[in-house]
Amino acid sequence: MSLKDLLSLADDKLHEVFSRKPHDPSKARKPIIKGIERTRDQFLATEPAKGRKWFKVSNNVVELTLPFAIDGKNTFYVPGERAVEFLDKLKATVESGDLDKDIEAGAGERPVSAATSGKKRAGWSPERREAFKASIADRKAKPIKGK
């Protein structure tokens, strides 16, 4: 067998397939269920929720934003008095496995803020940079009192 025949059996394109981790639906459900329970607790709490949350309340309407899409939507608007019922039914649906394909499709997708996306401000204008250099030069030129 020649070297050509040996190398023809190997395929470097299979590295991606080799490295990919298999999707485990039960493992993917756990953070979603935990998030639903946390959201329910935050919604029922008397004090305002702090930190990350999946919901906003305005005019007795709850805007619930999920980390995955259901039928192409990840934001749902629910009347305030039915929000807990919605979360309970959502939890039951996730636990039953009916949303496994939606959860898998949305895995790893999170809204990215400008602070974490690497976007930066435009920076200083040339005029501002020159003014800064001039102020530094002025400070260096002035004698320090007491020395």
Mean of pLDDT values over 33-43: 93
CB atoms within 10 A of CB 40: 19
Name the range with the highest mean pLDDT among 13-27, 40-54, 94-108, 128-142. Answer: 128-142
Provide CB contacts within 8 A for 40, sequence distance 6+.
84, 87, 88, 91
Percent of the chain residues past pLDDT 90, beyond the cut: 40
Mean of pLDDT values over 43-49: 85
Question: What pLDDT does residue 80 have?
Answer: 92
Cα separation, 117 vs 56, in Å, equals 23
Task: Let me know if 90 is exposed, middle or buried by CB neighbors in 10 A (0-12, 13-18, 19+).
Answer: buried
Question: What pLDDT does residue 21 have?
Answer: 78
Element (H, E) at 62: strand 61-70
SS3 label, residue 132:
helix
Question: What pLDDT does residue 108 have?
Answer: 54
